[in-house]
Amino acid sequence: MTIKVGDKIPSAKLMEATADGPKEVTTDELFAGKTVVLFGVPGAFTPTCSAKHLPGFITNAAAFTAKGVDTVACMAVNDVFVMGAWRKDQGVKDEVVMLADGGAAFTKALGLEFDLTARGLGVRVQRFALVAKDGVVTHIAVEAPGAFEVSNAESVLAAL
């Protein structure tokens, strides 16, 4: 069942790629008492994710803060070292939290997984963006396969 507006973010452990190395973070810590924008990408270093999706959230970080967002987080079903390398490659500082869902457990709990095993990529997260206030989803946008229209930074800003 795909997560929807009004649902509570499921409890899960993720790995955060920080400038100081990997750090475990729980979704309870990440979302409790905050307004959080979480966007998911099918994979670090992939074309749309690297050229458009992540850069849009980096560029618009101040606009999210101005609208009351405490945290902007990017997540992918990649390991934390890949997310760390992507963080460095994209010049991410503290404006976006980079989260690894290596085993796709959180992705599956959200109901946002899709299987690209036949293409050699394994289980991935669908491209999406959500807004949660104190751990409750207030907005969610999931892209159709191959699309990049509703989960971009500008669309999320318009929904706030």
Q: Which residue has the tokens 């405490």?
A: 70
Verify whether residue 74 is a known catalytic residue: no
Residue type, 151: S
Identify the burial level of 13 via C-beta atoms within 10 angstroms of its C-beta, where 0-12 means exposed, 13-18 middle and 19 or more buried.
middle
Catalytic residue, from 44, 49, 74, 100: name it.
49
DSSP per-residue string spanning 22-83: EEEEEHHHHHTTSEEEEEE-S-TT-HHIIIIIHHHHHHTHHHHHHTT--EEEEEESS-HHHH
Residue type, 4: K
Nearest in space to 90 (alpha carbons), one of 128, 127, 56:
56
The radius of gyration of the chain from alpha carbons, rounded to an integer in Å, stands at 14
Which positions are catalytic? 49
